[in-house]
Amino acid sequence: MEQAKIDAYGDELYDALKDRTTVTPFTERESGITIEDAYQIQQRVINRRIEQDGERVVGKKNGSSARKSASPARRCRTCSASTSRTSAI
């Protein structure tokens, strides 16, 4: 994806964040969007939040550290209570 388009999508997401609005998913507009494109768009949003809003990065999430359970019950992320498979978390 061209840098101009990445910047435009990043700016659109940043504006939606500030205005508290939604955007049409990029996958509906860009059939060939890749994970790499998405990361670049995300980085554009982060850079604008840092530069324009004075935010700062204080940590980084590297994925889940939870092990998969053999039982059908899952643990609630906020309260550690068991939930059934059909519960929304």
**Is there a contact between 2 and 40 (Cβ–Cβ < 8 Å)?**
no
Report yes or no on 25 lying in a domain. Answer: yes
pLDDT of residue 79: 46
Q: What is the mean pLDDT of residues 17-42?
A: 94
CA distance 6 to 4: 5
Q: Look at residue 23 and tell me if it is in a domain.
A: yes
Q: Residues 6 or more apart from 42 whose CB is under 8 A from it?
A: 10
Rounded to two decimals, the pTM is 0.65
Q: Give domain status of residue 79, yes or no.
A: no
- What is d(CA 58, CA 66) in angstroms, rounded to the nearest whole number? 22
Answer whether residue 27 shows pLDDT above 50.
Answer: yes
State residue 83 phi and psi, 5-degree precision: -130, 155
29 located within any domain: yes
Per residue in 38-88, pLDDT (tens digit) is 999 999 999 999 999 999 888 877 766 666 555 455 444 444 444 444 434
- Domain annotation covers residue 63: no
Question: Does 10 map to a domain?
Answer: yes
80 against 18, higher pLDDT: 18
Q: Name the nearest CA neighbour of 83 among 72, 25, 61.
A: 72
Instruction: Provide the number of structural domains found in the chain.
Output: 1
Which structural domain range is residue 12 located in? 3-53
Q: Is residue 58 situated within a structural domain?
A: no
